[in-house]
Amino acid sequence: MADFIRIAPGALVIGKPLPWDVFDTSGAVLLRQGYIIPSDAQLERVYERGQIKPVVSRPRKFGQLADQHASNPFAEYGDLLATLEATLSAITSQAPSAKKRLLGSARMLERVCKQAPDATLALVHLYSINPTIYEQTLFYGILSHFIARQFNLEHKRTTSLVLSALTANLALIPVIDQLNASKHVLTAEQRAVIRKHPERAVEALQAAGISNSRMLQCIMQHHEKADGSGYPFGLSGSDILPEAEILALAERYVAMITKRAYRDRMDIVGARKLLRTLGNDQLRPAIPKALLEILGDYPPGVVVRLANDEIGVVKKRPEGHRGAIVSTIISPRGTRYTGTFERNTNEPEYAITRLEDAEAMPSMDFSLIWGFRNL
């Protein structure tokens, strides 16, 4: 069984979808990615019996898988996270491979975004309950990529933006869990760490031999605000790079839909409402507008109730006059379907009537729902 490794204690969270398939000691699938562990007792059994296939910690060459088959963001999720973690570690340790690893990580992420945009956007919403710092960082990269494409930014600028998104919070990694877990007002020392993190990230990147000037400028400016109230330099208006504002918005949106110790998470309705206000004095108005267009009223990965009382997950955003596609999981009687049924929300019977509680999300086989299983 050399192809499998035991799951490390602490790697899984109750109430959060599994990030990968879990296998038993014979190599058979025990639980599919997307299954939600409901209790401490089952969590302990998974740690006792469960194992996973090791993920690749080295970035692939750009396009390596693209010629073989379409990307499955769910199958590659663990690989993307492991590669990102190894990349950021290489940067902080000033490893000779740091620059190559970083570019490889960005290209892997760009590939899944281009080849499976709805499924990749779904990752942000399916795993936003209690994301790790590496998951949050991955989400910043995903959202930044989509916003850049919405503006038709040239490829070089888009890649620089994604590189910025993957590294801008490098200096916060050692303290982010403590900050997120705090229920109290930040101390002066914690605020100083936060305000210094853009400069410290740039210093770490330069020390690792990474000198992309637009990327470094984006990182340095991503907490500036159009009205001059941001940091570290108090820049305003057109002195701030558009890419820096895109990254700022990506971070802001992920913060909105992520639960913290000191506040609940927003649902998509509340997040969209707040996004509409950010063009007043903090960002160029076109940037939050672009994200609103990308998300739609109900982005992929959110759980909804339909007019016929079925519960499902949004699989695909509307195209033209076609409504969003929802894969239903729960019947009107509240029983679990053995499979799923696709519903077009343009049809009155299947119109979305409300969001369901994301923290009570039903278990799902993500790859099967999005059509990747057995391809």
- Per-residue model confidence as pLDDT tens digits over 51-98: 988 765 554 544 444 444 578 999 999 999 999 999 999 999 999 999
What residue ranges of the chain have pLDDT lower than 50? 1, 59, 61-68, 375
pLDDT of residue 114: 96
To the nearest 10 degrees (0 to 180), the angle between helices 155-167 and 98-115 is 110
Spatial distance between the Cα atoms of 253 and 258, rounded to a whole number of angstroms: 9
pLDDT of residue 375: 47
Instruction: Judge contact between 17 and 135, C-beta under 8 A.
Output: no
Peptide bond into 232 cis (omega under 30): yes
The Cβ-side half-sphere exposure at 241, using a 13 Å CA radius, reads 23
Which residues are bridge partners to 15 per DSSP? none
CA dihedral for 332, 311, 316, 112, sign (positive or negative): negative
pLDDT of residue 168: 97
Largest CA distance in the chain: 60
Residues contacting 13, CB < 8 A, separation 6+: 37, 129, 130
Fold (topology level) of 77-295: Hypothetical protein af1432 (1.10.3210)
Instruction: Judge contact between 314 and 301, C-beta under 8 A.
Output: yes
Spatial distance between the Cα atoms of 366 and 127, rounded to a whole number of angstroms: 12
Which of 326, 332, 328, 258 is CA-nearest to residue 298?
Answer: 326
Query: Tokens for 319?
Result: 């195209």
pLDDT of residue 247: 98
pTM for this prediction? 0.93
pLDDT of residue 293: 96
89-125: string of b/e by CB count within 10 Å (b at 16+)?
Answer: ebbbeebeebbebbbbbbbbbbbbbebbbbbbbbbbb
Which residues are bridge partners to 6 per DSSP? 51
Phi, psi of 343 (to 5 degrees): -125, 135
The Cβ-side half-sphere exposure at 255, using a 13 Å CA radius, reads 12
Residue 348 CA to its chain's centroid (Å): 32
Spatial distance between the Cα atoms of 275 and 35, rounded to a whole number of angstroms: 31
* Sheet hosting strand 29-31, strand order edge to edge: 5-6, 51-52, 22-23, 29-31
